[in-house]
């Protein structure tokens, strides 16, 4: 792309903040995947919808690719700019625009952090219930672009359930006002839902109206140690039947080893292969006694080997840290991430098959399992042995991901549960979506983005 194109952008939008320093290109050109070398052309930080539209029109005229960018905490490379793209960072469009007490909605700009959304909702006595460990750094725009899940899906569903309206700038620069906060709207295709999870390939989000809800009753957090996967599934069925679950998350002894080495506190003595952190409604003493009775039932059945019930908020936070600190504790080991889902009922059979596959294919590699087992969503992280070169490691992991994708296909699962396809999993899209579906998806992309300027190379090969 010619330097004149960038000069043209500045002359069309004189107030637009543009960054071209190497440090900025590096900072904004990558996400948490760390696999690609950032090489964007420049970083644009628009402050208004008009500036976003101006950038998109300019990109069409000059045939420049745009990478929409939020908190860059993504784990699938959806926000990576490694090929001379213009990064369109929404970091400056990060305000709360309004709260509607009757509709119980919060309207925000896409660059606002998830945690700031939580705070704003609580100020009105309500909650925005989607939650996960990256809450302080990720942006709501990125959450919506990937239909983010997290730790409370078992109670509240994915991001998709909580989006009442979206304003998007389509690939031709046109502003779309989708669904406008309506609860009922049976007027044809729901383009708002199409945008959710589209990973910046159909439009650039400039505003979102979020549904809020009542805070749950006081909750209780428990850590459980379990002897095997069958017991874990039995405990899940028992707890789900008898308690009102807000979260049911699992991790293995290997994950525990890493998170403890990273500063988390041990809460159960002894070694067990599986652990669960669960949170459930416990409004009063009676509810707490009921929870204890359920725990004891699990112990009697020998499904639970040991457990701890948090006695304070600080202890609850410490138990959650054992689960939420895992990603950070693995980061120095350059993990290759798989984020897969199967129907909950298919979890045990799928898990056994995959464990056998991994033991056969990765005898020397450390594999860390954790995730949202109550939603059928498992995170399988493979850690890079220090002796192996980065490229050899990735090649081996890609080979195993291919086998994993074949297994998933047989079980009717998905190669991406909540992280998105991005660059990391685009070669495996066919394991989850049929050829006919992918052809339709490409057709949709061409309608919304005729010149292919929006996040090209992401989602599809
Ligand atoms: C999590 O569940 O902790 C996140 O999806 C992050 C990860 O998979 O590393
Ligand atoms: Zn997750």
Q: State the distance from the centre of ligand 2 to the C-alpha of 94, rounded, in angstroms.
A: 24
Q: What is the mean pLDDT of residues 249-277?
A: 97
- Is residue 461 over pLDDT 90? no
192, 199, 129: which is closest to 162 by C-alpha?
129
13, 79, 7, 24: which is closest to 49 by C-alpha?
13
Q: State the distance from the centre of ligand 1 to the C-alpha of 148, rounded, in angstroms.
A: 10
Nearest atom in ligand 1 to the alpha carbon of residue 372 is: 2
256, 260, 239: which is closest to 248 by C-alpha?
239
Q: What is the mean pLDDT of residues 150-156?
A: 97
| ipTM of the prediction | 0.98
Distance of CA 40 to the CA centre of its chain: 24
Residue whose CA is closest, atom 6 of ligand 1?
A: 327
Distance of CA 253 to the CA centre of its chain: 23
What DSSP assignment string belongs to 246-285? EEEEEEEHHHHHHHHHTTPPP-S-S--SEEEEEEEE--SH
More confident site: 2 or 103: 103
CA distance 236 to 242: 10
- Is residue 2 over pLDDT 80? no
Q: State the distance from the centre of ligand 1 to the C-alpha of 74, rounded, in angstroms.
A: 10
Decide whether 3-92 matches 334-444 in CATH topology. Answer: no
Residue range 212-233, pLDDT digits in tens: 999 999 999 999 999 999 999 9
Domain residue limits, the chain: 3-92, 96-211, 219-324, 334-444
Q: State the distance from the centre of ligand 1 to the C-alpha of 29, rounded, in angstroms.
A: 21
CA distance 425 to 459: 8
418: DSSP letter: S
CA distance 198 to 191: 11
Residue whose CA is closest, atom 7 of ligand 1?
A: 327
Mutate to test the pocket of ligand 1, among 331, 333, 379, 419 (most ligand atoms within 8 A of CB): 379
Q: Architecture of domain 334-444 in CATH?
A: 2-Layer Sandwich (3.30)
Task: Enumerate residues 6+ apart whose C-beta is below 8 A from 43.
Answer: 18, 19, 20, 24, 25, 28, 29, 69, 86, 87, 89
Coil, strand or helix: which one is 295? helix
CA angle 353, 354, 355 (to 5 degrees): 95
- 96-211 CATH: 3.30.465.10
Task: Enumerate residues 6+ apart whose C-beta is below 8 A from 297.
Answer: 238
- Which ligand is nearest to the Cα of residue 323, counting in written order? 1
Per-residue confidence (pLDDT) for residue 162, from 0 to 100:
98
Mutate to test the pocket of ligand 1, among 143, 147, 320, 339 (most ligand atoms within 8 A of CB): 339
Q: What are 459's two structure tokens?
A: 């989602």
- Contact criterion met (CB below 8 Å) for 248 and 373: yes
Q: HEC profile for 314-347?
A: HHHHHHHHHHHCHHHHHHHHCCEEEEEECCHHHH
Q: Name the CATH topology of 3-92.
A: 3.30.43
Can you give the pTM of this predicted structure? 0.96
Q: Name the CATH topology of 219-324.
A: Alpha-Beta Plaits (3.30.70)
Residues of 307-345 as b/e, b for ≥16 C-beta within 10 angstroms?
bebbeeeebbebbbbbbbbbbbbbeebebbbbbbbbebe
- Which ligand is nearest to the Cα of residue 75, counting in written order? 1
CA distance 156 to 249: 15
Q: State the distance from the centre of ligand 2 to the C-alpha of 150, rounded, in angstroms.
A: 5
- Which ligand is nearest to the Cα of residue 326, counting in written order? 1
Residue range 91-125, pLDDT digits in tens: 999 999 999 999 999 999 999 999 999 999 999 99
Per-residue confidence (pLDDT) for residue 80, from 0 to 100:
98
- Which ligand is nearest to the Cα of residue 330, counting in written order? 1
| Least confident range of 18-22, 33-37, 125-129, 164-168 | 33-37
- Is residue 154 over pLDDT 90? yes
31, 125, 167: which is closest to 458 by C-alpha?
31
Per-residue confidence (pLDDT) for residue 63, from 0 to 100:
97
CB atoms within 10 A of CB 261: 9
CA distance 379 to 389: 23
Ligand 1: residues with CB < 6 A are 75, 132-133, 327, 339, 371, 379
Band of residue 1 on the pLDDT scale cut at 50, 70, 90: low
**How does the average pLDDT of the chain come out, rounded?**
96
């Amino acid at each position: 792309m010619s330097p004149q194109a960038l000069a043209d952008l500045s002359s069309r939008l004189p107030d637009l903040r543009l960054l071209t320093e190497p440090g900025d290109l590096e900072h904004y050109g990558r996400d948490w995947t760390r696999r690609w070398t950032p090489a964007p052309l420049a970083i644009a930080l628009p402050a208004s919808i008009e500036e976003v539209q101006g950038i998109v029109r300019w990109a069409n005229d000059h045939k420049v690719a745009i990478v929409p960018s939020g908190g860059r905490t993504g784990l699938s490379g959806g926000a990576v700019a490694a090929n001379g793209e213009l990064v369109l960072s929404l970091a400056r469009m990060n305000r709360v625009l309004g709260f509607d007490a009757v509709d119980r909605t919060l309207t925000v700009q896409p660059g606002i952090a998830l945690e700031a959304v939580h705070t704003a909702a609580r100020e009105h006595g309500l909650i925005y219930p989607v939650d996960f460990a990256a809450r302080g750094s990720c942006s709501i725009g990125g959450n919506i672009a990937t239909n983010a899940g997290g730790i409370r899906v078992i109670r509240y569903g994915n991001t998709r359930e909580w989006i009442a309206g979206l304003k998007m700038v389509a690939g031709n620069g046109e502003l779309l006002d989708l669904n406008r906060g309506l609860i009922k709207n049976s007027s044809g295709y729901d383009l708002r839902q199409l945008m959710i999870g589209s990973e910046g390939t159909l439009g650039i989000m400039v505003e979102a109206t979020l549904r809020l809800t009542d805070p749950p009753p006081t909750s209780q957090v428990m850590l459980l140690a379990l002897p095997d996967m069958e017991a874990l599934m039995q405990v899940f069925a028992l707890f789900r039947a008898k308690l009102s679950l807000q979260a049911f998350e699992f991790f293995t002894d290997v994950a525990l080893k890493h998170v403890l080495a990273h500063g988390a506190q041990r809460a159960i003595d002894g070694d067990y292969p599986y652990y669960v952190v669960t949170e459930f409604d416990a409004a009063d003493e009676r509810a707490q006694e009921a929870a204890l009775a359920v725990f004891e039932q699990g112990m009697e059945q020998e499904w639970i080997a040991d457990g701890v019930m948090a006695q304070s908020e600080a202890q609850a936070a410490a138990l959650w840290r054992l689960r939420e600190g895992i990603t950070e504790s693995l980061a120095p080991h350059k993990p290759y991430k798989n984020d897969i889902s199967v129907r909950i009922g298919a979890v045990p059979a799928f898990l056994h098959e995959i464990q056998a596959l991994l033991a056969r294919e990765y005898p020397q590699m450390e594999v860390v399992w954790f995730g949202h087992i109550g939603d059928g969503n498992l995170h399988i992280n493979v850690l890079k042995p220090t002796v192996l070169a980065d490229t050899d490691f990735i090649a081996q992991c890609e080979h195993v991901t291919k086998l994993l994708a074949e297994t998933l296909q047989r079980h009717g699962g998905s190669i991406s549960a909540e992280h998105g396809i991005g660059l990391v999993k685009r070669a495996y899209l066919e394991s989850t979506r049929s050829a006919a579906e992918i052809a339709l998806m490409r057709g949709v992309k061409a309608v919304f983005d005729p010149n292919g300027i929006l996040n090209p190379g992401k989602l599809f090969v």
